[in-house]
Structure 1
């Protein structure tokens, strides 16, 4: 992609983990940044760091995307700045039995993984259409390729992100807007998450990658116009196995691993890139 000094990329869930790593990848390509994340997540300091290191424009907005007026707030904040890249990274998930969770847990997953992705894309499409070349990257998950009990709503929401992205890609194929979906496996987002992943089964650790590597692959393949991005050979093998193993075998097998991990790690809760529930996300 050829960028100009006036173009901006908007990234949600940008203060930590994958969102932060993607911000650095785009900054290294001299793309100006509009970063969105929860309040008190160090987003202002991140913008200062990026501006000083890469000599680009970087502005930040601290807002809770689960709030009803958050999309309108973002739209007003962007103003007349030309956005040519939208990264829908903010998301959340967890491992719990469905009947044990409260409504806040469920609403947060729905609001971030479904509502925010849909409405922010819809709101920014007119801006993206004004650019000669524009890109949308939606962050899904390897969990989108199979139902998983005890995660339940999370893989269902990420399946929405995957299918939504493929539909938008088809709708926009004759425009200057390219849509890609990223399906990462487990990532080393912070010390707490790494400790939790390392204590889980080999299946849970299969395909474990650093956020920097995932971000590098994601940005590279987005600009190569790859519609579905599955980073790492291990995750690609996992995707193949999920496609060929019949669901009556696959779903109980995968779900049994999660159930066992919950029993072994009773503190395992909701973790993600925009986690209001436990603040452990990346």
Structure 2
């Protein structure tokens, strides 16, 4: 039976770059995204160009039952040896100006979907000769930021969950990697926001670069993948009393 890689949030940005990178390596894919985003056409494009199999699955993964339905479908019909939990969402808002659904959406997509899908697909991954999980955290995992609040907390969860799960699975055929990229050049809205400050311009990376480095390190079973070492080091060495107010000030400027 052929093996597949499953990628969530696969139609745009980093997820799309992961799909292309794996297709170049002749790895079959199951691509997941929200409905009405042209996913089926993208899968067809990958099949024609790279001569691999690519299956589309359209659903809203912020709904818990949809996550379970996806996992059940995959476990019934496919052998999965790579799981890339890329789907997620953020936001830059004053917390008193948002409703509870805004907060729930971030937690559901970033925390619940990643942990639940990993849990549900682990038996499938453990049956393969080698299995790999890649979770997408963020540099925000290392520092709380005002006007983002819930997002960095959710990414801290992903980082901790990934490192802990990797340790738990030592001695098995499955390894877990986590990457903490900063801003990614994905669309015009992102570019307009982050380029308001020098720091944002300095941090931003191309999704193709991140995808290539992540896949390379994933197959080496690297637990903690660092794609921007200069910024990572800067965040690590700056004391909290400097970096938290500094980042909050930068984010507040982006909001204006």
TM class by shorter chain equals over 0.9
1:13 to 9, 12, 21: 9
Tell me the equivalent position of 2:182.
185
Cα distance in 2 for residues equivalent to 1:244 and 1:76 = 44
2:209 to 209, 213, 231: 213
Moved over 6 A (4+): none
1:161 to 158, 161, 171: 158
Asked if 1:174 is matched to 2:167, the reply is no
User: Against the structure 1 CA distance between its residues 131 and 39, is the aligned structure 2 distance closer, same or farther, given a 3 Å change threshold?
Assistant: same
Cα distance in 2 for residues equivalent to 1:255 and 1:52 = 46
| Structure 1 residue 161, shift from structure 2 partner | 0.5
Tell me the equivalent position of 1:255.
248
SS at match of 1:33: strand
Deviates more, 1:170-179 or 1:235-244: 235-244
Cα distance in 2 for residues equivalent to 1:72 and 1:54 = 30
Tell me the equivalent position of 2:231.
238
Cα distance in 2 for residues equivalent to 1:195 and 1:253 = 20
SS at match of 2:203: coil
Cα distance in 2 for residues equivalent to 1:207 and 1:226 = 22
Tell me the equivalent position of 1:271.
none
C-alpha contact (below 8 Å) 1:165/1:181 kept by paired residues: yes
Tell me the equivalent position of 2:47.
51
| Residue pairs, 1:73-84, within 5 angstroms | 73-78=69-74, 79-84=76-81
Asked if 1:148 is matched to 2:145, the reply is yes
Higher RCO by CA contacts (8 Å cutoff, separation 6 or greater):
1
Tell me the equivalent position of 1:267.
none
SS at match of 1:64: coil
SS at match of 1:151: coil
C-alpha contact (below 8 Å) 1:9/1:83 kept by paired residues: yes
| Structure 1 residue 171, shift from structure 2 partner | 0.3
C-alpha contact (below 8 Å) 1:197/1:205 kept by paired residues: yes
Higher helix content, 1 or 2:
2
1:125 to 117, 122, 125: 122
Unpaired stretches in structure 2, ≥5 consecutive residues: none
Q: How many residues align?
A: 255
| Structure 1 residue 34, shift from structure 2 partner | 0.5
